[in-house]
Amino acid sequence: MCTGKCSKCIGISLYPLALLSIICNIFLFFPDLQTTYAKEAAEGLYRLTDEIKLMGGVVGGGILVLIPAIHIHSTGRQGCCGNRCGMFLSVIFAAVGVAGALYSGTLSVIALIYGPVCRLENGDWIRPFMNSTPSYLGESEIWSTCTEPENIVEFNIGLFSALLVAACLELLLCGFQVLNGLFGCICGTCSHKEVA
């Protein structure tokens, strides 16, 4: 496959992953699909994990991948970006995408390891699984430790896992685009009307 067409495919593939990352991160602000916890967190109460507030899905897996995806996609077209210079720029943009995917993926892994913030039976809001051994992920019988928000453990595991998968795919695609862009910069984009 020609480097220009490959860039176009990579760019198109990055769009839904960036959108998925943004949507998952936004949903994480509303456990139990309630706005109460986000409002209380905004007031300084400990209701959401720091990984949610750092917005790895919106900033890292979302914006820092979406902007490169637009340029990478445009390098696959004939015209202003479908040339050696455009392919070189796609390498730089893809590197930004790699950084964004790493940011999102790292926060997702940390959130999965430490677990959610939830209310215990005694009324305290803490991260009860933060130092648990073995990991709480495989011990579903202890998830009932969290009394509020309802099903918070499953909610966090599902959304942070989706963020992690999206980040891994974004990392692979952007990493491949770095190689594709370097090859396209050296050899050209295979377009008939290539501009030097």
**Total number of domains constituting the chain:** 1
Q: What pLDDT tens digit does each residue of the chain (196 aa) get?
A: 577 788 888 889 999 999 999 999 999 999 988 888 888 888 888 889 999 999 999 999 999 999 999 988 887 666 545 577 778 888 899 999 999 999 999 999 999 999 999 999 888 899 998 887 788 888 888 888 999 888 999 999 999 999 999 999 999 999 999 988 888 777 765 655 444 4
57-90 CB burial, b ≥16 within 10 A, e <16: bbbbbbbbbbebbebbbbbbbeeebbbbebbebb
Q: Is residue 108 part of a domain?
A: yes
Q: Annotate 73-131 with DSSP letters as a single string.
A: HHHTSSSSSSSHHHHHHHHHHHHHHHHHHHHHHHHHHHHHHH---EE-TTS-EE-TTTT
Q: Is residue 150 part of a domain?
A: no
Q: Is residue 124 part of a domain?
A: no
> What pTM was estimated for this model as a whole?
0.87
Range of the domain at 49: 3-115+156-187
Q: Is residue 58 part of a domain?
A: yes
Q: Is residue 178 part of a domain?
A: yes
Residue 76 near residue 7 (C-beta atoms within 8 A):
yes
